[in-house]
Amino acid sequence: MDDQEFRSFYENTKADGYRLAYSYLHNESEAEDVLHDAFLRFYHHQPRDQEKARTYLFSIIVRLSLDRLRSQRKRAVQHKEEKEPASKNDYQFLYEAIDELGAKDSSIIRLHYFAGLSLQEVAKAAGLSLNAVKKRLERARKALKEKL
Amino acid sequence: MNYLELDNALAMAREAITIPPLAFDEAIVSQKKKPYPWKGLGIAGACAAALVIAVSLTFAFYPATESVPTEIEVNNDAALQGPILRYDGWRLSLSSTSGEKESHEIAIDYRPGIAFLSSGETFSHPEQSLVLSIERTITMDGPEQYHHTILSKETIYQEEATLEELYGNGRDWASYAAETLPILDEVASTSLKGTGNLTYSLVITGKDEALIDFAGTYTEGDGSTVEGYLLGASEPLSSISESVSFRYQSDGKMSSLQSTNPPEDAIY
């Protein structure tokens, strides 16, 4: 991917990438940081198969978002910090319910619903089989339905 | 909320995220990779550089062929061939306290936030006093000799009650388990202590920088006991087993593998 193609890739994926990061972090500046770091990593370690570019980028965003959440938790434990309140919006209850799902199940919900990936793409990004994704999605939706 | 409403809520939540003006950051493409050092030297220069590198590598690796490597770099794509940690989840068992031999086990299929109780068990003495206990089992799963080695089996919740109390009319087991299981999460997140029959030392390290928190070691005890702790684990074990790398010594050689893609049942 040359610079021009990369710019176009950036323009086409930034919104979904931002939504994905935001669905984890619930914080605008944190989501922007993750998105920037993800594109930076992507640029320097591009997949050979350009068809996988989108799912590869989103898998980087997932990893970076989870890393950031872990270090936030670690920092909070070490310094006994109060967790910074997340940005409130009308769907806070939904984010909280998704956060309570297992790590993989919630990632699948986020990749599918917030990043707009098809189930095939979710399977590639999450490193799971399509059947496993379907099973997990079904379970996650059932859990969300019951919670809400 | 039904599924349709759920899907609508998710779609609306997606649209409610305001996308800030995300201008393309030129700094990303300005940090070019360093050009190859031999670029510009021409074919002769490249051949000379290649020769120097080949000779250097030959001498650099020659001594290693005579000694056992102390560490092998984990390859992300390595196939899963060795033991992996399998977290079997919670098992709820009911056993009679009356001295009779009758006992039953009922499995709870636990997922974070949800609990299912399998049905089909029948008790013949509803008035009996029973002990309800919830056990946590962690096994080492792998090929051949490591298959299903139990690392840890702990009873972490116990309650004595009559069958009527436990199974009484309208008992909402899902709620009951949901109330009880958060206690288990807490226990699971503090330590991993196991006993088993490993015959060689096993080191578990977090391969990913994000998993550094979970670094810990298992060292061989007297051949029948293995103890180890996950350091600073702040999440249930279920999420740790997803990408834990193992280095282990067998027949005097250090081997390495990574469970990047454990089977489905390794996750909970």
* Distance, CA of B215 to CA of B234 (rounded, Å): 12
Flag if A103 and B2 touch (Cβ within 8 Å): no
- Interchain contact A2–B (C-beta under 8 A): no
Flag if A148 and B238 touch (Cβ within 8 Å): no
CA angle B54, B57, B60 (to 5 degrees): 155
CATH code of residue A93 = 1.10.10.10
Give the pLDDT of residue B231: 27
- Interchain contact B264–A (C-beta under 8 A): yes
Give the pLDDT of residue A18: 93
- Interchain contact B52–A (C-beta under 8 A): no
Residue owning tokens 């670094």: B215
**Number of domains forming the structure of chain A:** 1
For chain B, percent of residues with pLDDT exceeding 90: 0
* Distance, CA of A144 to CA of A142 (rounded, Å): 5
Residue B226 has pLDDT above 70, yes or no: no
How much is the average pLDDT of B75-89? Answer: 30
Residue B110 has pLDDT above 50, yes or no: no
Does this complex have an ipTM over 0.95? no
Range among A35-49, A105-119, B111-125, B236-250 rated most confident: A105-119
pLDDT tens per residue, range A14-34? 999 999 999 988 888 889 989
* Distance, CA of B241 to CA of B263 (rounded, Å): 10
Range among B9-18, B26-35, B189-198, B200-209 rated most confident: B9-18
Under DSSP, the state recorded for A30 is H
Which of A134, A24, A93, A146 is closest to B114 using CA atoms?
A146
On chain A, the residues whose CB falls within 8 A of the CB of B20 are: 18, 28, 32
Least confident of A113-122, B10-19, B95-104: B95-104
Give the range of the structural domain holding residue A139, as residue numbers without chain letter.
3-147
3-class DSSP assignment, residue B94:
strand
CA angle B136, B208, A86 (to 5 degrees): 80
Label residue A131 by pLDDT band (50, 70, 90). Answer: confident
Flag if A94 and B14 touch (Cβ within 8 Å): no
Alpha-carbon distance values, A110 to A61, A86, A89, B63, B89 (Å): 11, 17, 17, 50, 25
Number of Cβ atoms within 10 Å of the Cβ of A98? 24
Q: Which helix (H) or strand (E) holds B8?
A: helix B3-16
3-class DSSP assignment, residue A65:
helix
* DSSP codes joined into one string, B238-251: HHHGGGEEEEEEET
What are the tokens at A116?
């707009």
Which residue did the predictor score with more confidence, A69 or B179?
A69
* Distance, CA of A92 to CA of A27 (rounded, Å): 12
* Distance, CA of A100 to CA of B230 (rounded, Å): 22
Give the pLDDT of residue A21: 93
Residues 32-61 of A with CB under 8 A from B: 32, 35-36, 39-40, 43-44
Q: At what angle do helices A92-99 and B3-16 cross, to 10 degrees?
A: 110
Flag if B209 and A67 touch (Cβ within 8 Å): yes
Q: Which residues contact B56 (CB under 8 A, 6 or more apart)?
A: none
Alpha-carbon distance values, B191 to B128, B150, B217, B255 (Å): 35, 16, 12, 26
Amino acid at B98: S
Give the pLDDT of residue B117: 30
Label residue B133 by pLDDT band (50, 70, 90). Answer: low
Burial of A26 (0-12, 13-18, 19+ CB in 10 A): buried
- Interchain contact A127–B (C-beta under 8 A): yes
Label residue B91 by pLDDT band (50, 70, 90). Answer: very low
- Interchain contact A134–B (C-beta under 8 A): no
- Which of A6, A102, A148 is closest, CB to CB, to B111? A102
Q: Which residues contact B244 (CB under 8 A, 6 or more apart)?
A: B84, B85, B204, B205, B206, B207, B211, B214, B258, B259
- Which of A39, A104, A139 is closest, CB to CB, to B28? A39
- Residue A77's closest chain B neighbor by CA? B234
pLDDT tens per residue, range B140-194? 444 443 344 455 555 555 555 554 555 444 444 444 444 443 333 322 222 223 3
Name which of A48, A75, A94 to mutate to probe chain B: the one with the most chain B Cβ atoms within 10 A of its Cβ: A94
- Interchain contact A138–B (C-beta under 8 A): no
On chain B, the residues whose CB falls within 8 A of the CB of A23 are: 17
